[in-house]
Structure 1
Amino acid sequence: MTRRQAWFEAGRSVLTVLTAFSALAGAALVGAAPADAAQGVAVAPGVVYRQFDIQGAKGVTHAHVLSIDLRKRVRLGLLYPGSVAARRTVSGMADAQGAVAGVNGDFFNITETQHPGVQATGASVGPAIVAGRVLKGAVPDGQRFGPQLPPGTNTGEVLGVGADWRARLDRLTLDGSIRTPTGSLPLGGLNQYALPVGSIGAFTSDWGSASRVRATCGTDTDRAAACSTDTYEVAVRSGKVVSLADTPGSGAIAAGTTVLVGREAGAQQLRKFFTGEAVTVRQKLVASGTRIPYRFALGGYPVLRKGAPLAGLDDTASAVRTAVGITNGGRGMVLLALDGAPAYRSGLTIAEVADALRDLGAVDGFSLDGGGSSTLVARAPGVTKVSVRNHPSDGTERAVANGIGVFTVK
């Protein structure tokens, strides 16, 4: 028996002692227990893994859940491959960073079939912060991968944990500028696989080695639109312009160097720069909901706010999903990933996901990437490496852009 099978059977035995919730509109948890019932398998102090069935509109699906008490010696952080434009499995990232558990994260640039000759970057859609450091901004709404956003939301939506160790939903907006002796220009992007039309974006060593051409493809409303033919690139090191190019390049960016990529009007502005010119690039992510700095944040979209599902959530398309719920005033979280095994692949609609998170005690809920990306990993007792607990619907674990890691504090 494999370790995952052993955990699956252990979870099944746990279900025999659980009592059912009464049926609710939308998704209903089958075999879920009252909040005070002992259940699940302890992964670490404050971290419990459990699994159970959920009855959705299109059939029964199987849920894998991590319940996390942030009041214990446990913290959440961003899992990522070390570069924005890179992908790695959740288990690989968790083991490399020492996480005891985790789930996959944001939607990402997975394919580029509309742009022949252009490679997908693997970069995520939304903003990202790791250990208090800004990694990237959000692509334009029309450039995102994933299902349609709920009304009133955009690609800047994040789930984050602040310096106060409380989890919250928020929206992060890039605020940046490019200053020269003759004036200041707005910064339109940071380490993004897609830049707004007419803008200038900054790429740092955090980007990785992927080509920057993809940043000039598509438009703010049409991801499949052709790549721009009006582009320009400027490299800045130690506050001075060190190189100029007519097209975006590729390869690793040295620490301390910022590469500016312009398209259309942005390219025309960059053509005025010259080697040796003094240039200062400034950028930050501004939160709309709090002044508390974020220790970590990643993108997705909200499905539940203050105990109520967002208006306009899709209630027709069912799929394998990953989602996060915030409990106990931000001091607790539930990480949920559905099973992709054929018997359960009917999945849930987004509206049903919101109901399921609420049934699990969440007041706020956030949807992450799903389908073949949905992955939940956790260590077994006495084991130093994580194992995949659900069955990924691709049959094998997919390499993804980032994830949420659960870490113990020594």
Structure 2
Amino acid sequence: MKRRLGRIRTVATIAVAWGVLAGGGAAVATRAAAADGFTQTAPVRLARGVTYTEFRKTLPRGIVHGHLLTVDLSDPAVSVDLLHPSAVAARAPVSELADDRDALAAVNGDFFNISEAQHPGVEVTGSSVGPAVSSGRQLKGAVPDGQRFGPTLPPGATTKDVLGVGYDHRARLDRLTLRGTVRSRTGSWPLRGLNQYALPEGGIGAYTARWGEVSRERAVCGTDTDRAAGCDTDAVEVTIRGGRVVETADRPGAGAIEPGSVVLVGREQGARRLRALHIGERVRISHRLVGRLPGRLHCAVGGFPVLRAGRPAPGLDTVAVTMRTSAGIADRGRTLLLMALDGAKGRHQTGLTVRELAGLMAGLGARDAVDLDGGGSSTFVTQDADGDAQVRNHPTVERERPVANAVGVFADE
């Protein structure tokens, strides 16, 4: 039986803490709502440990309207996980992902491979940029920094950055690096990719059944610094089944990968190494995502940090204004804040710059926060009274955009 939610109601304005939005200092001050131009509805309990509110902030250029979910991770009835389609190289609307898992609420997740205008004829994978971990399963690694989609990374950030929730029920910012090896009688080589739409130059990547049926050709397009660079013709694909080489090809292929099989794709030096393998040769492949912090992650989603220890990250963009989705951490990891702006047209509404987003998340109480995919991808859903996922915000696109993954919230009562 699906959980049922009470009707969400708008109530009187209350005062909240609000950080400095438009550049400058990072201090957060509590002010009267009228002075700040900030209003917020009273929290509505969606389930034990989970509340929902809406807020508005008046800026000179318009009104910022957002939706906020506050999740008490210390409550044993509450959990968070990464929602994703059946394949890494696939997309689905957030509401569909939430319904499939019967999630109480969800917001869209990481940036993803959304177009290939620079590479005519190359299939768009829909795969996310950063690492992905769901229910403890390590689904994929991070593409090179220069191959990402989304706003320019601020100084010090990388595609390996994630927001994760550990088995200790604490949220944290971390950085997941792929550690892997391909071993055969001819040598031992580092594995540089796992189910990624782009491989590092000279690298070897592994693709499992989780990748899906989409072509793996995109893996050898672009360079470590230029996503739009051409596709490499010096590439090899090798299929490993039962621990032995069963097939080789001189270019990446497409189609489903059998469960238990691994397809290796190499480019440049990686291709030359794979050419040394022969049909029937035994090959051992190992891989795991390693974080900087101790403790195993139950889930992780890619996103670059905009707020650390209550202060905006240096070098955040102060120009581009768009709808934003963000995840914040408070109370030493015990509280998770999920926020998405509203893109309703014709209501004098506006978005935020990345720098302003950092100020907003600090004002909402976060000590750390990441920027997730925004613009037409920004989606905020909660279950309605019938237990079906309902989009609460107004995405800027005409229809709910299919995305690579989402952050889902669950509550067992």
Q: TM-score range by the shorter chain?
A: over 0.9
1:171 and 2:175 are equivalent in the alignment: yes
Aligned counterpart for 2:189 among listed residues 179, 185, 190: 185
Residue 370 of structure 2 corresponds to 366
Q: Secondary structure at the match of 2:338?
A: strand
Query: Are the counterparts in 1 of residues 150 and 373 from structure 2 also a CA contact under 8 Å?
Result: yes
Q: Distance in 2 between matches of 1:57 and 1:132?
A: 45
Q: Secondary structure at the match of 1:393?
A: coil
Query: Are the counterparts in 1 of residues 18 and 363 from structure 2 also a CA contact under 8 Å?
Result: no
Q: Secondary structure at the match of 1:206?
A: helix
Residue 400 of structure 2 corresponds to 397
Q: Secondary structure at the match of 1:352?
A: helix
Query: Are the counterparts in 2 of residues 56 and 348 from structure 1 also a CA contact under 8 Å?
Result: no
> Is 337-346 or 158-167 further displaced after alignment?
337-346
Aligned counterpart for 1:52 among listed residues 55, 78, 102: 55
Aligned counterpart for 2:336 among listed residues 333, 337, 359: 333
Deviation at 1:26, TM superposition (A): 3.0
Deviation at 1:55, TM superposition (A): 3.0
Q: Kindly provide the amino acid, as one letter, of the partner of residue 215 in structure 2.
A: S
CA-based RMSD of the aligned residues comes to 1.6
Query: Are the counterparts in 1 of residues 164 and 174 from structure 2 also a CA contact under 8 Å?
Result: yes
Deviation at 1:44, TM superposition (A): 1.3
Q: Kindly provide the amino acid, as one letter, of the partner of residue 190 in structure 1.
A: L
Q: Secondary structure at the match of 1:31?
A: strand
1:275 and 2:283 are equivalent in the alignment: no
Matches within 5 A, 1:71-220: 71-72=74-75, 73-220=77-224
Matches within 5 A, 1:238-387: 238-288=242-292, 290-342=293-345, 343=347, 345-380=349-384, 382-387=385-390
Residue 31 of structure 1 corresponds to 39
Deviation at 1:82, TM superposition (A): 1.5
CA deviation map 1:238-286 (0-9, x unaligned): 1111111111110111110000001111111111110110001100011
Query: Are the counterparts in 2 of residues 75 and 408 from structure 1 also a CA contact under 8 Å?
Result: yes
Q: Distance in 1 between matches of 2:314 and 2:51?
A: 31
Q: Kindly provide the amino acid, as one letter, of the partner of residue 102 in structure 1.
A: A
Q: Distance in 1 between matches of 2:407 and 2:114?
A: 19
Q: Distance in 1 between matches of 2:244 and 2:21?
A: 61
Q: Secondary structure at the match of 1:53?
A: strand
1:64 and 2:64 are equivalent in the alignment: no
Structure 2: gaps spanning 5 or more residues: 1-5, 24-35
CA deviation map 1:311-330 (0-9, x unaligned): 11111211100001101110
280 and 21 in structure 1: CA distance in 2 versus 1, 3 angstrom threshold: closer
Q: Distance in 2 between matches of 1:25 and 1:141?
A: 27
Deviation at 1:148, TM superposition (A): 0.5
Q: Distance in 2 between matches of 1:213 and 1:100?
A: 37
Q: Secondary structure at the match of 2:95?
A: helix
Q: Kindly provide the amino acid, as one letter, of the partner of residue 335 in structure 2.
A: G
Q: Distance in 1 between matches of 2:288 and 2:105?
A: 30
> Is 214-223 or 311-320 further displaced after alignment?
311-320
Q: What is the percent sequence identity of the aligned residues?
A: 52
Q: Distance in 1 between matches of 2:132 and 2:401?
A: 20
Q: Distance in 2 between matches of 1:20 and 1:172?
A: 34
Q: Kindly provide the amino acid, as one letter, of the partner of residue 155 in structure 1.
A: T
Structure 1: gaps spanning 5 or more residues: 1-5, 34-38
Query: Are the counterparts in 2 of residues 57 and 348 from structure 1 also a CA contact under 8 Å?
Result: no
64 and 175 in structure 1: CA distance in 2 versus 1, 3 angstrom threshold: same
Deviation at 1:59, TM superposition (A): 2.0
Q: Distance in 1 between matches of 2:205 and 2:269?
A: 12
Deviation at 1:189, TM superposition (A): 0.4
Query: Are the counterparts in 2 of residues 109 and 145 from structure 1 also a CA contact under 8 Å?
Result: yes
Moved over 6 A (4+): none
Q: How many pairs align?
A: 394
Aligned counterpart for 1:227 among listed residues 227, 231, 235: 231
307 and 194 in structure 1: CA distance in 2 versus 1, 3 angstrom threshold: same
CA deviation map 1:194-238 (0-9, x unaligned): 001111100001101100000000000000000001111000011
Q: Secondary structure at the match of 1:267?
A: helix
Deviation at 1:409, TM superposition (A): 3.1
Query: Are the counterparts in 1 of residues 19 and 363 from structure 2 also a CA contact under 8 Å?
Result: no
Query: Are the counterparts in 2 of residues 56 and 352 from structure 1 also a CA contact under 8 Å?
Result: no
CA deviation map 1:76-102 (0-9, x unaligned): 000100211000000000000110100
CA deviation map 1:138-158 (0-9, x unaligned): 000000000011101110000
Q: Distance in 1 between matches of 2:19 and 2:290?
A: 41
159 and 56 in structure 1: CA distance in 2 versus 1, 3 angstrom threshold: farther
Q: Secondary structure at the match of 1:176?
A: strand
CA deviation map 1:89-130 (0-9, x unaligned): 000000001101000000000000000100110000000011
CA deviation map 1:336-372 (0-9, x unaligned): 0000111255201111111111111100011100000
Query: Are the counterparts in 2 of residues 20 and 29 from structure 1 also a CA contact under 8 Å?
Result: no
Q: Secondary structure at the match of 2:176?
A: strand
Q: TM-score, normalised by structure 1?
A: 0.93
272 and 310 in structure 1: CA distance in 2 versus 1, 3 angstrom threshold: same
